[in-house]
Structure 1
Amino acid sequence: MTLFTGALPVVGGSPGRHAPRVAALGGGHGLSATLQALRHVSTDISAIVTVADDGGSSGRLRAEFGVLPPGDLRMALAALCDDTDWGHTWRDAMQHRFTPLPTAESALEGHALGNLLIISLWDLLGDPVAGLQWAGALLGARGRVLPMSRTPLVIEGDVLVDDGGRERREHVVGQSALGHAGRRQKIESVTVHPADAEACPEAVSAVREADWVIVGPGSWYTSVMPHVLLPSAKAALVGSSARKVLTMNLVAETKETPSMSAADHLVALRRVAPEATFDVVLVDPGVVEDTEAFETAARDMGARVKYARLGRADAPEAHDVLRLATAYREIFHEHEEQ
């Protein structure tokens, strides 16, 4: 296997080479890492973000105002901020959370300023896509951020619970509850509602017009899978002529995925979307315990495996942005040469 150690990529590519149009699908910290990496590879980036979050500040605002959960959208905007003092300052302001005095109570406690700014723009403009565009302009975002759907979604699933040596099935509703299912539980299936919600038209266009679509990394059931659980979003992905990369997490076993191997992640995704194929599965070799099983699962999705060292030296469970950028650049160039 060929490993890449994270040499600094050159922004903008070779002279005369057109920057690839890239659509990145996901949510949360995983999508943030992807976007920060892609900034070194392309100047034409569309982030398409899940809208099922119901926890924390996003969950409170969603419940109180009936809006899309803004948190993951805010994180994507911050990841694409302009690399200047202006961009960094507004990024930090957007990410700032209010903390009242210990003796005081405040409705603002725990809210991120960016969440409040985003829903303010939505209220003023009456259009979530336009609101995100204006928020992106404030940060000088190098790319655009789009919701997966204009309709807030609910994710739920059936979970197998170990109850004193006997398994029982439990239905769990909500991304936050499902994401914290715990190690005593195993997620058996997931769905999103309303199932007939339409994918955001601008997101559909971005996926269809992309040269490359990047899916993952991220929480497997609550950030990655929603993009193939919503029928209209899955149809856009399956119908796109773009080349597709599935980026694996750096840790196989999490609270969402206890006792699951890297190969099991691919099998779970294929189970809910057998028609979704990929060109490349990008993975850190340290995640793969059974190489043969993993490569077989990747081939079943139409993909070859690209191994690359992707973890940070100081935090091996987090993606190193430059290593990830190098891996994406290598993948793009390898396919240009074919």
Structure 2
Amino acid sequence: MRDPGGAFLPAADVGDGRNPRVVALGGGHGLHASLSALRRVTENLTAVVTVADDGGSSGRLRRELGVLPPGDLRMALAALCGDDEWGHTWSEVVQHRFRSEGELHGHAVGNLLIVALWELLGDSVAGLDWVGRLLGAHGRVLPMSSIPLDIMAEVAGVDPDRPDEITTVRGQVACAGTRGQVRSVSLIPPDPPASPQAVKAVAEADWVVFGPGSWFTSVLPHLKVPELAAGLIATPARRVVVLNLSPQRGETEGFAAHTYLEVLVEHAPRLTIDAVLADAASVDDVAALERAADKLGARLVLARVAVDDGSPRHDPARLAAAFADVFRGETGVSR
């Protein structure tokens, strides 16, 4: 197994030299974290990415050109770049944002590159594949749907004086930045077409990874695309949920570790999970988390996966080692 500057774990560390087919679901920084770790564990890696972003450079391109929002797709591609000079350089290039007083201000280079290939090729998946080849990406990036989507959330307590009042909020940026607490999400349109390649990848996977990431705007939307949701339930692949290290203001403020799983059940009651991976130091009530995992049919794996500086960020090497343990079926707890 290749190891350019530590890009992959030795084959023996993955278990019997096995190279599992892994599909990771999500978007934004959370998916970037899981992909940065997973590319060290397997060479058969596919990211299935949310396409509901309506802010920043992605939102501007989406509104002006009618394309899928490219930002989360770009971040996933950057995460799949290797640790050698080529990978570092291209990761920095696609993530680079212009700073100016003009129209280019805030646009990411990778967003413009992706959209240019979409216009030239007329195919969103083919365009992403071409960018992946240019970057030397260790895996493939696919949109979860073939059309741009909007997220609609039911939010409690938008008005602090009416904490029990439910308000409907539309748009990923608005949902992520709400002053209230998100209760549930849905998509507009309500029955969007899934990316056929994403459905195929899920059906052929050995493992499907949910999270970490913005729970309501990056992780759960995959379960609201009917064909993709059906595939996630029917796949023979095993499923692992990676929990966030800390709550996110608005979306998951006040969440305990077990709350993420309870919300997952509410949005996909037929979904079963094989493993729940959490940072040992981030779980206050292990017993409650074990009970929530058990309801999903999952074993709980606690590991040290956070960086040492106290910030809520996953360490790629530690998370990679934890994924390797999960894929081998190990359940040891390290604190």
Q: TM-score normalised to the size of structure 1?
A: 0.92
Q: Is the 8 A contact 2:182 2:250 kept in 1?
A: no
Q: Which amino acid aligns with 1:111?
A: H
Select 2:136's aligned residue among 140, 152, 155. Answer: 140
Q: 1:16 to 1:67 in 2, by over 3 A?
A: same
Residue 307 in 1 paired to residue 306 in 2?
no
- Looking at structure 1, the residues matched to 302 and 206 of structure 2 have their Cα atoms a distance apart, in angstroms, of 22
- Looking at structure 2, the residues matched to 315 and 123 of structure 1 have their Cα atoms a distance apart, in angstroms, of 43
Q: Is the 8 A contact 1:158 1:187 kept in 2?
A: yes
Q: 1:286 to 1:292 in 2, by over 3 A?
A: same
- Looking at structure 2, the residues matched to 10 and 94 of structure 1 have their Cα atoms a distance apart, in angstroms, of 26
Q: Which amino acid aligns with 2:49?
A: V
Q: Is the 8 A contact 1:213 1:243 kept in 2?
A: yes
- Looking at structure 1, the residues matched to 256 and 146 of structure 2 have their Cα atoms a distance apart, in angstroms, of 34
Measured after TM superposition, the shift of residue 303 of structure 1 is 0.5
- Looking at structure 2, the residues matched to 254 and 171 of structure 1 have their Cα atoms a distance apart, in angstroms, of 18
Residue 215 in 1 paired to residue 210 in 2?
yes
Q: Which amino acid aligns with 1:332?
A: F
Aligned to 2:58: 58
Q: Is the 8 A contact 2:177 2:249 kept in 1?
A: no
Deviations 1:152-179 (A, max 9, x none): 1110111111432553221100000000
Q: Is the 8 A contact 2:143 2:198 kept in 1?
A: yes
Aligned to 2:114: 118
| More off after superposition, 170-179 vs 10-19 | 10-19
- Looking at structure 2, the residues matched to 160 and 16 of structure 1 have their Cα atoms a distance apart, in angstroms, of 49
Q: 1:13 to 1:59 in 2, by over 3 A?
A: farther
1:1-338 correspondence to structure 2 within 5 Å:
10-13=9-12, 17-100=17-100, 105-161=101-157, 162-164=159-161, 166-182=163-179, 185-334=180-329
Q: 1:117 to 1:166 in 2, by over 3 A?
A: closer
- Looking at structure 2, the residues matched to 324 and 242 of structure 1 have their Cα atoms a distance apart, in angstroms, of 20
Q: 1:35 to 1:45 in 2, by over 3 A?
A: same
Deviations 1:18-61 (A, max 9, x none): 31111111111111111111111101100110111111111111
Q: Which amino acid aligns with 1:180?
A: G
- Looking at structure 1, the residues matched to 154 and 325 of structure 2 have their Cα atoms a distance apart, in angstroms, of 39
What is the aligned length? 324
Deviations 1:273-303 (A, max 9, x none): 0111110000012222222221111111110
- Looking at structure 1, the residues matched to 293 and 211 of structure 2 have their Cα atoms a distance apart, in angstroms, of 15
**CA-atom RMSD, angstroms?**
1.9
Question: Tell me, what secondary structure is at the counterpart of 1:83?
Answer: coil
- Looking at structure 2, the residues matched to 73 and 29 of structure 1 have their Cα atoms a distance apart, in angstroms, of 11
Aligned to 1:4: none
Q: Is the 8 A contact 1:94 1:115 kept in 2?
A: yes
Q: Which amino acid aligns with 1:35?
A: L
Q: Is the 8 A contact 1:32 1:75 kept in 2?
A: yes
Measured after TM superposition, the shift of residue 95 of structure 1 is 0.7
Q: 1:9 to 1:45 in 2, by over 3 A?
A: closer
Deviations 1:299-332 (A, max 9, x none): 1111011001111012430000011000000111
| More off after superposition, 231-240 vs 85-94 | 85-94
- Looking at structure 2, the residues matched to 8 and 127 of structure 1 have their Cα atoms a distance apart, in angstroms, of 30
- Looking at structure 1, the residues matched to 16 and 303 of structure 2 have their Cα atoms a distance apart, in angstroms, of 28
Identity %: 51
- Looking at structure 2, the residues matched to 138 and 179 of structure 1 have their Cα atoms a distance apart, in angstroms, of 32
Q: Is the 8 A contact 1:21 1:212 kept in 2?
A: yes
Q: Which amino acid aligns with 1:46?
A: T
Q: Is the 8 A contact 1:44 1:143 kept in 2?
A: yes
Deviations 1:206-254 (A, max 9, x none): 1110111111000010011011122221111111100110000000353
- Looking at structure 1, the residues matched to 84 and 317 of structure 2 have their Cα atoms a distance apart, in angstroms, of 18
Runs of 5+ consecutive residues of structure 2 not aligned to the other structure? 1-5, 331-335
Question: Tell me, what secondary structure is at the counterpart of 1:213?
Answer: strand
- Looking at structure 2, the residues matched to 259 and 273 of structure 1 have their Cα atoms a distance apart, in angstroms, of 22
Aligned to 1:3: none
- Looking at structure 2, the residues matched to 91 and 165 of structure 1 have their Cα atoms a distance apart, in angstroms, of 45
